[in-house]
């Protein structure tokens, strides 16, 4: 009798838990902003290279999410022991209107990194922070200070895992804008469907006159093409393949409900409607090291549209 009663109690508890979970999931999908209402907002300090922060424009229905691509390779780990965020893109996502913008920050952008003397490349914040969670925290703080925007969330991947991610969605149709036949790349100019290996070559290659600046444009083009392809192959088998490709190699501070909320928003976003921007500036050489020196006046104009 006691055993039957225990089973009954457990069954009722499971049903209640599933009902609560279903209700919360339904609420998050239909009201995605609720998943972010009680999130902590990191404080950002100002410095002379920081874009102007306009608190009057603060919108609780809008979040800023950093996409960070790590230049992790087996060779780099063996020889240097650390790696950097070589791809930095900030998404402005309006959870109500489902309007999305993307601002790319070149990896060599000359900024002040909190806790460090002087200025450095923005991609150095991750290893200075100690990599892992603390590295991401310093990266977000550096980005927030630089842009004058509270960038609270991040999604990060190892760039060396691009091949399996691309192959999971059946390749990426894209227009390769120039021949790329150096530094490990073997791509011909023109429209084509890139498999995983060639997609990695495309997003990593930076050996024309504009170097990383043109690579940033290619990465923006690739990301939008990836979103289009994901919508085209919108079936369970594709998502299962994508999950297996990402599993263990994606890092984020988003919780389950926040991921669910963003998925519900992004499924209704047309990639062609995403506006893309790049931090404006010019090449700057200091002590034989090349930087990208941001034009803060032009950047503040861009941020008015971006926000």
User: What pLDDT is recorded for position 233?
Assistant: 75
Q: Which of 36-45, 200-209, 273-282 has the lowest mean pLDDT?
A: 36-45
Range with top average pLDDT, 57-61, 256-260, 298-302: 298-302
**Does the pLDDT of residue 65 top 90, yes or no?**
yes
Residue predicted with more confidence, 37 or 97: 97
Q: What pLDDT sits at residue 60?
A: 63
pLDDT digits (tens, 9 = 90+) for 238-260: 767 777 777 667 899 998 888 88
175 against 232, higher pLDDT: 175
pLDDT band at 17 (very low <50, low <70, confident <90, very high): very low
For residue 51 the two structure tokens come to 């874009």
Which tens digits make up the pLDDT trace of 88-125? 999 999 998 999 999 999 999 999 999 999 899 999 99
In angstroms, what CA-CA distances link 38 with 3, 55, 65, 84?
A: 41, 18, 16, 30
Task: Give the separation between CA 88 and CA 31, rounded to whole angstroms.
Answer: 28
What confidence score (pLDDT) does residue 27 get? Answer: 60
> Class assignment of domain 49-306?
alpha beta
Q: How far apart are CA 153 and CA 105, in angstroms?
A: 16
Q: Average of pLDDT values for 170-187?
A: 94
Among the residue ranges 8-17, 46-55, 85-94, 155-164, the one predicted with the least confidence is: 8-17
| pLDDT attached to residue 53 | 58
Mean pLDDT value across residues 150-170: 91
DSSP the chain: -HHHHHHHHHHHHHHHHHHHHHHHHHHHHH-GGGGGTT---------TTPPPP-GGG--TTEEEEEEEEE---HHHHHHTS---EEEEEEEEEETTT--EEEEE--TTBEEEPTTSSSEEEGGGHHHHTTSHHHHHHHHHHHHHHHHTS---EEEEEEGGGHHHHHHHTT-EEEEE-S-B-STT--B-SEEEEE-HHHHHHHHH---STTTHHHHHHHHHHHHHHHHHHHHHT-SHHHHHHHHHHHTTSEEES--HHHHHHHHHHHTT--GGG-EEEE--EEEEEETTEEEEEE-HHHHHHHHHHH-
pLDDT exceeds cutoff 70 at 216: yes
- Note the pTM of the prediction, 2 decimals: 0.83
The whole-number average pLDDT for the span 207-221 is 93
- Tell me the domain boundaries of the chain: 2-30, 49-306
The whole-chain average pLDDT of the chain stands at: 83
């Amino acid at each position: 009798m006691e055993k039957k009663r225990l089973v009954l109690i457990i069954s009722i508890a499971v049903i209640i838990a599933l009902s609560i979970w279903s209700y919360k999931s339904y609420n998050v999908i239909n009201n995605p902003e609720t998943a972010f209402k009680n999130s902590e907002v990191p404080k950002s300090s100002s410095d002379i290279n920081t874009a102007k922060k306009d608190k009057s424009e603060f919108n609780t229905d809008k979040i800023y999410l950093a996409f960070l691509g790590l230049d992790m390779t087996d060779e780099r780990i063996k020889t240097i022991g650390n790696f950097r965020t070589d791809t930095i893109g900030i998404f402005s996502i309006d959870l109500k209107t489902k309007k999305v913008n993307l601002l790319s920050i070149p990896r060599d952008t000359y900024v002040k990194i909190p806790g460090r003397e002087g200025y450095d490349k923005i991609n150095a914040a991750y290893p200075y922070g100690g990599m892992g969670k603390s590295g991401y925290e310093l990266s977000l703080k550096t980005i927030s200070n630089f842009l004058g925007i509270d960038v609270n969330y991040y999604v990060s991947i190892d760039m060396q895992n691009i091949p399996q991610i691309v192959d999971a969605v059946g390749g990426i149709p894209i227009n390769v804008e120039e021949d790329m036949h150096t530094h490990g790349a073997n791509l011909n100019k023109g429209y084509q469907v890139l498999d995983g290996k060639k997609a990695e070559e495309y997003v990593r290659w930076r050996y024309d006159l504009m170097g990383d600046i043109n690579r940033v444009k290619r990465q923006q083009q690739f990301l939008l093409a990836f979103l289009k392809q994901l919508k085209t192959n919108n079936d369970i088998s594709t998502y299962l393949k994508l999950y297996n490709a990402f599993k263990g190699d994606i890092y984020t501070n988003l919780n389950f409900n926040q991921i669910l909320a963003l998925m519900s928003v992004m499924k209704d976003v047309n990639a062609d409607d995403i506006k893309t921007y790049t931090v404006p500036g010019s090449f700057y050489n200091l002590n034989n090291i090349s930087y990208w020196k941001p034009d803060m006046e032009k950047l503040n104009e861009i941020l008015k549209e971006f926000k």
